[in-house]
Amino acid sequence: MKNTRRDFLKAAGLCSLGLFSKPVKDAFAQDESAYSRRPEALVGKRWGMAVDVKKCAEKVEKDQCKDCIAACHVAHNVPTNIEGPKEEIKWIWRTTYEHAFPGLDAKYTHLEDLPFVVLCNHCDNPPCVRVCPTKATFVAKDGIVMMDFHRCIGCRYCMAACPFGSRSFNFKDPRPFIPEIRTEFPTRMRGVVEKCNFCAERLAEGLLPACVDACKAKALIFGDLADPDSEVRQVIRENYTIRRKVYLGTQPSVFYVI
């Protein structure tokens, strides 16, 4: 990513004066068209995920499994070993029931000791998108809440609006903290917000998200929530599921089988 914040503001000013022949969107956006689809691309109307908490817990208990986290962070050049919880960059991580579902009904206290994999919920009614002043975050046609890193001006309104803590901010240049940079996915720069993208770039190639592929326990089920015949819909239909903070009305697309 070569554009700096200064470049962005300068170019935005030039656009407002009509000095750019290209609109800002064309000049800066890395929208869904950035991932040109192969014929074998996976297509959906509203991608979603089910997390089978018990399957995940059994694997974690067996070998402290973090396969999904490792696969995601490698695939997306997520920096590691940045010191301090505030500066940590996370796309998918594990947390406790208490943190994932604060204030949930006392009848679920039997879940207290289980690990919960959490990520961006790709909400159907995402507050993060509404507050973004530059449309750097937007909902793609398949329901994925995307980030256009080039458009992000680092105001962090989206982080304040997300009730799930699903977004991270690059307080420093992340590149020195990436063990091995993959050229297939863009690195970010200081001052940019990032988060899970449901592996939109992999879907465009016909591949499932990296976390789903990596999960040997088959605890992550990904698919089209709009398709009643999809596996994810079947799992949700046949099991008892909960979602995070449904009372806020964001309509998360990630379900937890408990």
Q: Specify the residue, 37 or 243, whose C-beta has the smaller distance to ligand SF4.
A: 243
Residue 49 binds ligand SF4 (CB under 6 A): no
Q: Specify the residue, 126 or 174, whose C-beta has the smaller distance to ligand SF4.
A: 126
Residue 121 binds ligand SF4 (CB under 6 A): yes
Q: Where are the alpha helices (DSSP H) in 5-66?
A: 5-16, 24-28, 53-63
Whole-number minimum distance, CB 14 to ligand SF4, in Å? 31
Q: Specify the residue, 166 or 187, whose C-beta has the smaller distance to ligand SF4.
A: 166
Q: Specify the residue, 12 or 154, whose C-beta has the smaller distance to ligand SF4.
A: 154
Instruction: State the binding string over 128-147 for ligand SF4 (x if CB under 6 A, else -).
Output: x----------------x--
Distance CA 230, CA 176 (A): 41
Distance CA 76, CA 210 (A): 9
Q: DSSP character for 55?
A: H
Contact 219, 57 (CB under 8 A): no
Those residues with Cβ within 8 angstroms of residue 176's Cβ, 6 or more apart along the chain or in another chain: 79
Other beta carbons within 10 angstroms of residue 44's beta carbon come to 20
Looking at this protein, which amino acid is placed at residue 242? I
Residue 197 binds ligand SF4 (CB under 6 A): no
* Residue among 126, 143, 209, 223 that touches ligand SF4 (CB under 6 A): 126
Residue 151 binds ligand SF4 (CB under 6 A): no
Which of 42-50, 75-83, 115-123, 206-214 is the region at the interface with ligand SF4 (rule: CB under 6 A)? 115-123
Those residues with Cβ within 8 angstroms of residue 104's Cβ, 6 or more apart along the chain or in another chain: 97, 242
Instruction: State the binding string over 154-183 for ligand SF4 (x if CB under 6 A, else -).
Output: --------x-x-xx----------------
DSSP states of 174-185 as a string?
-GGG-SS--TTS
Q: Footprint of ligand SF4 on this chain (CB under 6 A)? A: 120-123, 126-128, 145, 162, 164, 166-167, 195, 250
